[in-house]
Structure 1
Amino acid sequence: MRQLYRSHSLPRLLALFAALFCALAQAVDQPDPAFEQWVREFRQTAINNGISPQVYDQAFKGITSPDQWVLDRASFQPEFKAPVWQYFDNRVQRRAIERGRREKEKIAPWLDKIEKRFGVDPDILLAIWSVESSFGGILGNDKVMRNVIRSLATLAYADQKRKKFGRQQLLAALKILQAGDIEDRYLLGSWAGAMGHTQFIPTSYLAYAVDIDGDGKRDIWNSVPDALATAANLLSSNGWQRGKPWGYEVIIPQRKLPAGKLTVAEWEKLGVKRANGDPFPSKAAVAELKLPDGRQGPIFLVFKNFFVLKRYNNSDRYAIAIGLLADRIGGAPPLAKDWNRPFTPLQSGQVEELQKLLKQQGYYSGEIDGKAGPATRKAIRAFEARAGVVVKGYPSKEVLELLQRQ
């Protein structure tokens, strides 16, 4: 079973290409004497924390300057500036749902084993895998995956807001190398050091990493079972309730409702109902209302497991997106109420058609992925300007129809 679901060759090949790219990028950087002095001084800190001199020296071999790309990303974090509709459209979308269902069938024995051990819904794990790394698709992308040691050393050395974080995570990353779970040339991650299929920062990896495939390594970079089991361990360790929901879409009355947590029975007395008309399974469960798009958008009654999801990423949007994508992978229908949008939305798959037409006409050079991110919206604005219409940049039905007429 292990051999079927370990992705040895392709991810390692992609990781090696990315590592070579990073090495080449470092080669053209000019050595920074101040940074090199910092590395020499931090060596003793690492040794005092149990890192062998040999591991430290090997990890920093060839690293002579901070990574400006990391500092640029650290100073610009646009994720939560996105409109609500865009945030959810780019995560709970057709390609992710269909891929999640295929992966669910493909790795069913592992998902069953993980659920039996940790009690976490497999659909939740598939949703996390999708949102965190596009089912591992980003791991070989040298535009977003960098040398973790260099990235964290950069933050520890040069980022005033994240120096403490960088030092803490750098020590943890060195401990990972010393344990032998991954070779230094494969230790790649995001600008902030998030690693592997499920994007764990080094301290979280040390706390929760699991070797469920039994090869002696906790390999979240190349073993999908290990990565999903690690995510399940994090959730389980933080109080995940086996067999319980994360939340439900609901309808609320027009009158003002209290803030905070009440039992389902108390919410029902106030006029809160499930949007699909089904009864709530438990009247005694404690829940809280969440209105990520105000009263005019979808509204959710969320439970304990919602707050456990926030231990993965402390954001209401993130936890709701994971829950909604998991529901859709599990066969649930779309939301009863759509997000507030200043345009007519496209149907499933039409964003891909929009991207293809923009690419054909020379406005877009990114991936055809069904995600209307910054590059897609920039292309739409360029097309609208050339077409002589009001420039808005929305992935709308009107823009698609205009493209089709060109």
Structure 2
Amino acid sequence: MTRLIIALVLAMWPATAQAQDESFASWLAGFQPRLEASGASEATVAAMLDGLEPDLSAIERDRTQPEFVRPLWEYLDIAASSLRVRNGADEIAGRRGMLTNIENRFGVDYEILVAVWGLESSYGAIQGDRDVVQSLATLAWEGRRRSWAEAQLIAVARMIDRGYARRDELYGSWAGAMGQTQFIPETYLARAADFDGDGHIDIWNNVGDALASSANLLSEAGWMREAPVVVEVILPDAFDLTNWDPGAARMTAEWSMRGVTRADGTDWSADTLMYAARLNLPAGRRGPAFLTFPNFRALMRYNNSTSYGIGVWLLSQRFNGEFIIRGDWPEDDPPITRSQTLALQQGLVELGYNPGAPDGMFGPNTRQALMDFQRDNGYPVDGYAGRIMYDQVIATLAASGSTGD
């Protein structure tokens, strides 16, 4: 019955050549010697692999991308909701001594750590209940991320053999992220910290260990204590985006000289002017503008998502009282869907731009191609793939006489 279900699932979703041609049992037979060669003990290999079956829902989750992309303003409403703010403030009030100790030890502001904790697991309430070994083994067999998933399984074996966790403690998300701070196994081995010194790094049940582990990760990513993370700014009406590079950092003093001001109306502090910052327009020229600092890029090491980084920052600010983003979101210009992104990419190719191979994913190549189109056609060069710019690309394609075929 299991093999029949696997066959049906593989027929429903596009499969890699590896998963098409190889049964789970065959992959398992090939992986076991590699796990043993990595130094895993016989007992750990048996505990991990004996009787192991794939979790087919992990394949579905890995292969299925949502059609609709949540607008950043809707994501932030959830990430920094009143309930999440209230719960986080309660955690800070009840654990201030521990949090201060972690901040002093690792040099990471504890409001940021609590915000990460809130977004990753709702302060430990939602950690995932999947068997991490089963999830990772399924992803390895499926094949799209085989090398990565097998490396995580080898890391799991090391966790067990070193006494960091028992086999029955290893639960988390369908993608193998574990505990209150959602570490993958390799990150656990490299960054997890034993805050209370009991010899056991428990990111599932021990809040101190979980938050100290996050602090250690951010510290090693370059976090600077009490330095800025994000500042909402206002661009002058005449601000020229023609040569704007989203990945280029300038000293805040230079942004100030170009007329960029703080959205809260306060003056730039002398120390902030000495940091390098990038201009970020996550909802385009019509939406709020932000300067993001080196600490923001440290957050990207935790989760490489602009929405996530802004969500952590916003939540951390709200723990200390009311805090708002002052700019207006372009709610009439939401981000486009996956299928619209594919059509946009195909349209840009037809118009002579280079977004890379059309795949429905809006990455840096597509952003650059869209910015080139905007620059050539007199639009604000903000690289924002909203519905309005999508319509402009499609209209230009139609006017050019191209069929898109």
Provide TM-score, normalisation by structure 2: 0.73
Amino acid at match of 2:89: R
Deviations 1:51-103 (A, max 9, x none): 0111110122432x211010011012439822222222221211111111000
**Corresponding residue for residue 312 of structure 1:** 302
What is residue 324 of structure 2 aligned with on the other side?
A: 334
Question: Runs of 5+ in structure 1 lacking a partner?
Answer: 1-25, 344-406
What is the match of residue 149 of structure 1? 133
- Pair 1:187 & 2:176 matched: no
Alpha-carbon separation, structure 1, partners of 2:319 and 2:81: 10
Corresponding residue of 2:280: 290
The one-letter code of the counterpart of 1:329 is F
Decide whether the 8 Å contact of 2:155 with 2:186 is kept in 1: yes
Q: How far is the alpha carbon of 1:111 from its aligned partner?
A: 0.5
How far residue 329 of structure 1 moved from its aligned partner, in angstroms, is 1.5
Q: In the aligned structure 1, how far is the partner of 2:111 from the partner of 2:160? A: 31
- Quote the residue 2:23 is aligned against: 34
Alignment of 1:17-96 (within 5 A): 34-63=23-52, 65-78=53-66, 81-96=69-84
Question: 1:225 and 1:78, CA in 2 relative to 1: closer, same or farther beyond 3 A?
Answer: farther
Counterpart among 227, 234, 238 of residue 244 in structure 1: 227
Instruction: State yes or no: 1:129 paired with 2:117.
Output: yes
In the comparison of the two structures, how many residue pairs are matched? 311
Q: Which residue number in structure 2 is paired with residue 109 of structure 1? A: 97
Letter in 2 for 1:145: D
Asked if structure 2 preserves the Cα contact closer than 8 Å seen for 1:43 and 1:53, the reply is no
Question: Cα deviations across residues 117-155 of structure 1 (Å, max 9, x unaligned)?
Answer: 11101110111111111111113xxxx421011111111
Q: Look up the equivalent residue of 2:168 and give its one-letter code.
A: R
> Are 2:195 and 1:212 equivalent residues in the alignment?
yes
| Matched residue type, 1:46 | L
Q: Greater CA deviation, 172-181 or 35-44?
A: 35-44
Pairwise CA distance, 1:278:
1.4
- Give the partner amino acid of 2:45: Y
What is the CA–CA distance in structure 2 between the aligned matches of 1:296 and 1:252, rounded to whole Å?
A: 10
Whether the aligned pair in 1 keeps the contact of 2:6 and 2:56 (CA below 8 Å) is: no
**Structure 2, unaligned stretches of length 5 or more?**
8-21, 334-405
Aligned partners of 1:297 and 1:112: how far apart in 2? 36
Contact preservation (8 Å) 1:127, 1:322: yes
Residue 361 of structure 1 aligns with which residue?
none
For 1:166 and 1:120, the matched residues in 2 are separated by 30
Q: CA deviation at 1:342?
A: 4.3
Cα 1:105–1:244 shift into 2, 3 Å: same
Q: Tell me if the contact between 2:250 and 2:277 (Cα under 8 Å) persists in the aligned partners.
A: yes
Aligned with residue 174 of structure 1, among 113, 132, 157: 157
SS in structure 1 at match of 2:301: coil
Task: Report matched runs for 1:216-231 at 5 Å.
Answer: 216-231=199-214
Is the alpha carbon distance of 1:186 and 1:94 closer, same or farther for their aligned partners in structure 2, counting shifts above 3 Å? same
Structure 1 residue 234 displacement after superposition: 0.4
Q: CA deviation at 1:299?
A: 1.2
Partner SS for 2:40: coil
Which string of whole-angstrom CA distances, capped at 9 and with x for unpartnered residues, describes residues 144-176 of structure 1?
A: 421011111111111x32111111111111111
TM-score normalised over the length of structure 1: 0.72
Contact 1:246–1:304, Cα closer than 8 Å, also in 2 = yes
Distance (whole Å) between structure 1 residues aligned to residue 205 and residue 182 of structure 2: 12
Aligned letter for 1:337?
Answer: G
Deviation at 1:36? 2.8
Shift of the 106–36 alpha-carbon distance from structure 1 to 2, 3 Å rule, reads same
